[in-house]
Amino acid sequence: MARTAEIISVGTELLLGNIVNTDARDISQMLSEIGINVYFHTVVGDNPERLKDAVNIARSRADIIITTGGLGPTYDDLTKQTLAEAFGKKLVFDEKEAEEIRTYFSQSLHSHAMTDNNYQQALLPEGCTPFHNACGTAPGCAFEADGIHVLMLPGPPNECISMFKNCAMPYLRDLSDDEILSHNIHIFGMGESLVEDKLRPLMLKLSNPTLAPYAKEGEVRLRVTAKGKSAQECEDLMAPVIEQVRSVIGSCIYGLDTGTLENTVLSLLIEKGLTFATAESCTGGLIAKRITDIPGSSKAFLGSAVTYANSAKADILGVDPKLIEDHGAVCRQVAIAMAKGARDRFHSDMAVGLTGIAGPASDDTDKEVGLVYCALAVEGSVYCRELHLGLDRSRVRTSAANHALDMVRRYLTGLPIESWES
């Protein structure tokens, strides 16, 4: 039977909203990779009573408890003491860990001196497996008590995640019988409820693998998860389901485990040896920003002309000012002229041009907020979508950027570009 883990993150800064709990996300991802179920995350402050309560709840519903945080040298770092007490373990001084801490301080660039309470970190529960901290001073550890495995990791994300990979994963792999693997199917151009309508019969029928949809910033993701004795068995279980999803959803699927539209587009561009540029008005640089978030994007992405002002559309991209005078800045003709202008100025193989009204106010015309024209210029052809993206500024911008990327993807994979099935 698969084991069940609960992650208890200790830190008042999490409850005050000063930081976001990336440790729990990253640990959960790695746990699912080795077939350990996670049914709950709990976040609790630097308070021993409430931590003890959380631990008592966790031990009633999980057989692996993983804590993050509260292992440091300051007076509010109480995780080790509290967990040891809850499981009836004494804390003993670990000379090897003390030596590690001494070494860390003698080697590091840190200007601050080692203090007595740094030695407190070398106190560990009796009989535990110490986890060495490669990025800091606080060691972690694991012990078993009452049939429950308790793993304690430091809070700072770089310390926590490197210790989890290097120490906790090997410890946990030894406990697990099953493999669990997931694939994410990425969809753009079809709403979550329509995706579910089309796939409900399949989803209800399945138990292993399972199939679950979720929406994310104008996109839909379908997660296929299989459990088996080996990675290969999981893959064999998932393959026919992924095929069935493909046959139902069709060309709105833009990738498998690719993460984002911009990843898919960048990979296609690099694969085909093509270069790309953007001309952005309403999106204001968002497409360029998303593409250059990706390391190595300079292999295909040449740049963007963010021409927010009408004069810049003329000066930088060579859009005929008469077009804007006659039709306003938000029209099909201007979007196409921007795309062509960007392709010309950046000497790129492909370019997109976007002009629209992101809101909340309209421009001086009677055009509605959310109206966006998105054009794609390639050698010898142009394409343009007219979009109506609603009233929320952030959503209009995100959707417009998604559509631009989708047009590039469709062009590069030989699919219809201006209109698309749903």
Of residues 246-285, those binding its own copies (CB under 8 A): 275, 277-278, 280, 283-285
Based on CB atoms, which residue is closest to its own copies, 25 or 90?
25
Using the minimum distance from each CB to its own copies, give the nearer residue, 27 or 412: 27
DSSP calls for 35-104: T-EEEEEEEE-S-HHHHHHHHHHHHHH-SEEEEES--SSSTT--HHHHHHHHTT--EEE-HHHHHHHHHH
The Cα 51–Cα 56 span in angstroms is 9
How many Å apart are CA 358 and CA 218, to the nearest integer? 15
200 contacts its own copies (rule: CB under 8 A): yes
Of 58 and 128, the one with the shorter C-beta distance to its own copies is 58
**Alpha carbons 411 and 169: distance in angstroms, whole number:** 43
Least distance to its own copies, CB of residue 376, Å: 18
Quote the least distance from Cβ 350 to its own copies, whole Å.
14
Around Cβ 35, how many Cβ atoms within 10 Å?
21
Q: Residue 111 CB: number of other CB atoms within 10 A?
A: 5
Beta strand 148-153 with 140-145: parallel, antiparallel or unpaired? antiparallel
By CB under 8 A, which span of 80-88, 143-151, 214-222, 264-272 interacts with its own copies? 214-222
| Shortest spacing between CB 13 and its own copies, in angstroms | 5
Of 92-100, 103-111, 330-338, 375-383, the segment contacting its own copies by CB under 8 A is 103-111
How many chain residues touch its own copies (CB under 8 A)?
A: 128
How many whole angstroms separate alpha carbon 417 and alpha carbon 410?
Answer: 6
Closest separation between CB of residue 408 and its own copies, Å? 16
**Distance (Å, rounded) from C-alpha 354 to C-alpha 359?**
15
Of 63, 64, 67, 72, which lies in the binding site for its own copies, with binding defined by CB under 8 A?
72
The b-or-e profile of 132-148 (16+ CB within 10 A means b, else e) is: ebeebbbbbbbbebeeb
Beta carbons within 8 Å of 103's beta carbon, 6+ residues apart? none
Count of other CB atoms within 10 angstroms of residue 195: 23
User: Of 89 and 183, which CB lies nearer to its own copies in the complex structure?
Assistant: 183
Residue 367 CA to residue 388 CA, distance in Å, equals: 11
Which residue shows structure tokens 């950046």? 346
In the region spanning residues 313 to 372, those forming contacts with its own copies, defined by CB under 8 A, are 315-316, 345-347, 358-361, 370
Tell me the longest C-alpha to C-alpha distance in the chain: 82
- 401 touches 286 (CB < 8 A): yes
User: Considering beta carbons, is residue 128 or 241 the nearer one to its own copies?
Assistant: 241
| Binding residue (CB under 8 A) for its own copies from 289, 320, 367, 418 | 289
Query: What pairing do the DSSP bridges indicate for beta strands 179-187 and 219-228?
Result: antiparallel
The residue (of 127 and 360) whose beta carbon lies closer to its own copies is 360
Nearer to its own copies, 143 or 346 (CB): 346
Indicate the residue type of 187: I
Residue 315 or 326: the one with the smaller Cβ distance to its own copies is 315
User: Which residues in the 6-65 window bind its own copies by CB under 8 A?
Assistant: 11-22, 24-32, 38-47, 50, 53-54, 57, 61
Q: Which is closer to its own copies, CB of 28 or CB of 81?
A: 28
Q: Is 312 a binder of its own copies (CB under 8 A)?
A: yes
Q: Between 128 and 372, whose beta carbon lies closer to its own copies?
A: 372
Binding mask 154-173 for its own copies (x = CB under 8 A): --x-x---------------
Q: Does 85 bind its own copies (CB under 8 A)?
A: no
Of 221, 258, 323, 418, which one interacts with its own copies (CB under 8 A)? 221
Return d(Cα 169, Cα 131) in angstroms, integer. Answer: 11
Report the residue from 389, 404, 407, 408 that binds its own copies according to the rule CB under 8 A: 389
Least distance to its own copies, CB of residue 326, Å: 21
CB of 127 to its own copies, least distance (A): 28
For position 106 contacting its own copies by CB under 8 A, the verdict is: no
